[in-house]
Amino acid sequence: MIFTFGVIYGIFILNTKHWEELIMHTIAIFGGSQENTFKKIGAKHHCRVLFHNGKTRNGGLKREFKNIIKKADVVIVLYGACGHVSVDCVKEVSKKLGKKVLFHKGFGASGAIQKGVHAMDKQAA
């Protein structure tokens, strides 16, 4: 009897964690260099953060961006931290995938995350 309760209790915990992951929203952030800070602040707001520094390399930029943007609910570009090529690429890929792009002036992590959370709240309403 006790063993059965332990197994049922364990399944309940797994299911609870599974539902939390399903409920968490995902924000993609392009630009900047504070990946860990973005992730910490995102966790405080119950959001998963996908980060790319926005720097271009020898090709493959669209493919990288597409993989990140596909997984995101909202895309945020740190306008002062991205070059024109990266910004144009993010806009193009987001438009193809039907994702909303928000631009955040400056480099602040908390402001960017709050902007994403606010946008997701608007979508839910």
Domain that holds residue 93: 25-124
Secondary structure E strands in 1-125: 25-30, 47-52, 74-78, 100-104
The CATH number of the domain holding residue 62 is 3.40.50.720
Averaged over 19-25, what is the pLDDT? Answer: 61
Question: How high is the pLDDT of residue 59?
Answer: 66
Q: Encode pLDDT of 34-55 as tens digits.
A: 899 999 999 999 999 999 998 8
Is residue 3 domain-resident? no
Whole-prediction pTM: 0.78
Q: Is residue 11 in a domain?
A: no
Does residue 19 belong to any structural domain of this protein? no
Q: How far apart are CA 87 and CA 52, in angstroms?
A: 12
pLDDT in tens, 75-119: 999 988 888 889 999 999 999 999 989 999 888 889 999 999 988
Q: Is residue 8 part of a domain?
A: no
How many angstroms separate the Cα of 18 from the Cα of each of 12, 14, 21, 43, 50?
10, 6, 5, 16, 19
